[in-house]
Structure 1
């Protein structure tokens, strides 16, 4: 990413409002052009940030009504990236050609394991302070730990469009707007503090999922132009970083007065401006309507199952099977230990968090976004006054939440899925005939790599009534040789059921009783002979066998 600074000829009274046409046209070594908007950064300083997409000499020329900003030219030399971070090796995220998952720009599939930090740009998540000796900074400590655990995405919102009590847009740089003049008197120091956060994340190779603010902050189209101007500013400032645009949290929360169509207009506007045409989305309220699948700007669907809730896999399958297809992500489901007011009056049990993660992926999502009480909204201590931090025994601080068990189990889950070509699997209703299995929220389900079924993955939720059930896998190769294993999603350990077995002449195999019914289990069946097998997968699995 390159940053180029320019100086305006005029000292504007309201620069954020007065100059809205500053941009630069970048021309690649092969003659392709990309337009990047610029942004005001205080005084008479404007900047352009740009990430070249090809090696070689690029040229640029600016455009603006201001004489000092207009018709500025130059060139930049782009050399090949030599580091190890995948986002820079492979490029910005986009939908796959079949609209089932996300890929990097070069087509390499991207596995999404996200961590929720709605207040991550806010003072609630301290950038320069820590009350835990393990970390010099609350913000940096959280990122470092999640990076170690294999998380690939960090999600937050700026709240800069939000003027409601309790969620002030404020960080170490001050308030987002001066004198309470929302959408007028922009405070560049607020954004410069966010710059530091974004840069730290980018240096770690994390994809940054950014929402502008909360959906209910735009109740009608009368302020849509204000939100579009802010969206343009955010894109100009952070579009050259490894970001995806989440538009708004609960963009369609009609109960709270959110104008869903207005936010859709903002999302389409950002996509039109974005020179990289990356995959963007809108964070759903818990109603999760099937909408905008036919819009090119709607790169992927972000769902909200909500909290202290269980659903059958049919909840995700309905979204997966919608036409036209769109990549599906469960983006807010059963935050670990979330406080009672958000969970129906009780703290959400941990098994529900894990179940949502596994069920959603079995039903076709391309990853999962996790959340933890004390981190989804930053809580420095258990005595923080924010409503989102809870009270008494329900409160959790960030440095306790970072060690939550299900957060660690997300690492096991990510390592499991990324140990094979997960993107080749699809939900498969007919692969297993389940015997005496529940048909409700605890319904087992499976995905496979198609009719030849060289790989079958099934998730068996814990049984609330203690029932143990079995099933029969169908349409395996009668000449295939297979290995079957249980995977424990709570500790990441595999245990072999049988190795070197051959299905019946009809291509079936009876699933044995799961190790116990009081926990959830993952069943993996892999063919180990033939042209479609993966020897590397077998080796990887055996290294983790107990």
Structure 2
């Protein structure tokens, strides 16, 4: 016969199991695991949250059912110190459980979540500048494990620090495979008269294995310094699974579950939808409801946007932190990228400007030169651009959809631009957005001039008067070959004269000889002599 003490310990280990770290870095994840009831439907019958306190600060966080009788609550501390918590639940077994942990200073590489800075740009929470250089991998987490690992290895050696990725699997041209995991418990699978598989789901029960796999991949991205731009809804289903037409009640339940699981991941961004206006099962006005539900459930206020197809959404609404735009024409030439930025007064990311590749569709066959130039046009205008690659690859994969290996010519050039931008003293803005769409500035000591496709044999040193340097300041110039990824320091030192009309020239009107080829730029930096 078991002793009463032994029985009590066994009972407590089953009924109340808290697996939590005693110390957690700032912006890392603290997790509470509780054993709870499995009868009925724990996804819908049980409510669970916790209130975390540090001095007078109180933060309420939603919990979730993780299957197998396990309930979890996750918290991302944003301040150091001794945090205390108390659970809140309609289950007596889960209610009023208390504990504490210590939040310590972050270690190297942990800069916190990305936030908006200076109206049009971004910083990590610790103040370090963040310049988004993204790529597109819509369905990469719905592929065989070997392919997912190849994708991660590719990303580890690629220049990108943001990935656009879908939660739900994608059933679309070039990506019609069945994933290993589904977000809901499958209740049936039949074939129609044409041999097409039809699925039925219990939409009141999520499959935790699906979300655990997604979480692992988000953490994998975090390890290599990549932000996960999570696409919550998309139209690429075609009735195959029905995840694009769950109905409002099920959509909101899914949002509640997703945000409870993912809000504590510091590298998560929320993208309400990809091509929201192509999801015909959801009227336009429901997106306000869904966006507010996401923002209300996320106590850390991660970045949030909504991506368009043909029609822009109301991106100035307060729930949106930045603008995610599909429009290739905005970065085909100079001066266009800044126009939408001036409409929405938000950081502008042109997340779909067509893709480098060889697909027959017009959106899938940019050349490497065109993709690279799109990035330069965006950056010069004080905006940002997202890459995608649509070449057929080994194993019949396309990076934009399934992942795999990159074979295009633009990623290396995009990485070259990223290094140039990160070496600047700050984010770029057009120096004179009214008239000069080729000259960007970080401040009056730093300029970047991009010539694009234009071939010039000579360039007379000149800068915009607007926000320009005073007279008698000296500048060195470097010639940047953006395609061949070469930087050449020029021997001359230029000295500014008093402005003439709207321009500032060298006092001796000195010029620079340029090689007769396109895609050149100049980096102009003040020197102290």
Verify the 8 A CA contact 2:159 2:412 in the aligned structure 1. no
- In structure 2, how many angstroms separate the alpha carbons of the residues matched to 1:338 and 1:62? 54
Deviation track 1:423-481 (CA, whole Å, cap 9, x = no partner) reads 2x311236976xxxxxxxxxx6221245xx32111221114xx6768564343432111
- In structure 2, how many angstroms separate the alpha carbons of the residues matched to 1:222 and 1:175? 12
Secondary structure of 2:165's counterpart equals: strand
Which residue number corresponds to residue 282 of structure 1? 306
Q: CA deviation at 1:374?
A: 5.4
Secondary structure of 1:321's counterpart equals: helix
**CA spacing shift, 1:274–1:310, aligned 2, 3 Å:** closer
**CA spacing shift, 1:166–1:447, aligned 2, 3 Å:** closer
Which residue number corresponds to residue 224 of structure 2? 204
Equivalences for 1:90-489 in 2 at 5 Å? 90-96=111-117, 98-123=118-143, 126-127=144-145, 129=146, 138-159=147-168, 171-174=179-182, 176-179=184-187, 180-181=200-201, 183-215=203-235, 223-241=247-265, 242-253=267-278, 259-288=283-312, 291-293=314-316, 295-306=317-328, 311-323=332-344, 325-337=345-357, 339-343=359-363, 347-365=365-383, 367-373=384-390, 381-382=395-396, 399=404, 401-423=405-427, 425-429=428-432, 445-449=438-442, 453-463=444-454, 470=459, 472-475=462-465, 476-489=469-482
- In structure 1, how many angstroms separate the alpha carbons of the residues matched to 2:268 and 2:133? 14
- In structure 1, how many angstroms separate the alpha carbons of the residues matched to 2:172 and 2:388? 23
Which residue number corresponds to residue 534 of structure 1? none
Which residue number corresponds to residue 15 of structure 2? none
**CA spacing shift, 1:259–1:170, aligned 2, 3 Å:** farther
Q: CA deviation at 1:498?
A: 4.3
Deviation track 1:156-185 (CA, whole Å, cap 9, x = no partner) reads 11116x788986795333564413216333
Which residue number corresponds to residue 538 of structure 1? none
Which residue number corresponds to residue 516 of structure 2? 516
Q: CA deviation at 1:148?
A: 3.2
Verify the 8 A CA contact 2:432 2:464 in the aligned structure 1. no
**CA spacing shift, 1:474–1:313, aligned 2, 3 Å:** closer
Deviation track 1:328-383 (CA, whole Å, cap 9, x = no partner) reads 1121123221512253xx73222111111111111121x332111259xxx6612x
**CA spacing shift, 1:229–1:169, aligned 2, 3 Å:** farther
Which residue number corresponds to residue 539 of structure 1? none
Verify the 8 A CA contact 1:431 1:448 in the aligned structure 2. no
RMSD of aligned Cα (Å)? 3.3
Deviation track 1:131-152 (CA, whole Å, cap 9, x = no partner) reads xxxxxxx323333332333422
Q: Which runs of 5+ in 1 are unaligned?
A: 130-137, 391-395, 434-443, 531-546
Q: Which runs of 5+ in 2 are unaligned?
A: 1-28, 188-199
- In structure 1, how many angstroms separate the alpha carbons of the residues matched to 2:282 and 2:336? 23
- In structure 2, how many angstroms separate the alpha carbons of the residues matched to 1:27 and 1:413? 44
Higher strand share: 2
- Mark the structure with the bigger radius of gyration: 2
- In structure 2, how many angstroms separate the alpha carbons of the residues matched to 1:229 and 1:165? 29
**CA spacing shift, 1:389–1:61, aligned 2, 3 Å:** closer
Secondary structure of 1:139's counterpart equals: helix
Deviation track 1:174-197 (CA, whole Å, cap 9, x = no partner) reads 564413216333222222222221
When the two structures are aligned, how many residues end up with a matched partner? 473
**CA spacing shift, 1:58–1:192, aligned 2, 3 Å:** same
- In structure 1, how many angstroms separate the alpha carbons of the residues matched to 2:98 and 2:176? 40
Residue in structure 1 matching 2:48, options 22, 26, 30: 22
Report which stretch shifted further, 228-237 or 2-11. 2-11
- In structure 2, how many angstroms separate the alpha carbons of the residues matched to 1:361 and 1:262? 33
Verify the 8 A CA contact 2:456 2:514 in the aligned structure 1. no
**CA spacing shift, 1:370–1:2, aligned 2, 3 Å:** same
Which residue number corresponds to residue 63 of structure 1? 88
Q: CA deviation at 1:503?
A: 2.8
Verify the 8 A CA contact 2:245 2:281 in the aligned structure 1. no
Verify the 8 A CA contact 1:459 1:520 in the aligned structure 2. yes
Deviation track 1:68-103 (CA, whole Å, cap 9, x = no partner) reads 222222112222232x21xx2x3222211x321122
Residue in structure 1 matching 2:73, options 39, 43, 48: 48
**CA spacing shift, 1:430–1:508, aligned 2, 3 Å:** farther
Structure 2 length-normalised TM: 0.80
Structure 1 length-normalised TM: 0.78
Deviation track 1:251-304 (CA, whole Å, cap 9, x = no partner) reads 2337x5653432232122211211111221112224445x231x3220111111
**CA spacing shift, 1:62–1:78, aligned 2, 3 Å:** same
**CA spacing shift, 1:93–1:497, aligned 2, 3 Å:** same
- In structure 1, how many angstroms separate the alpha carbons of the residues matched to 2:278 and 2:513? 43
Secondary structure of 2:369's counterpart equals: helix
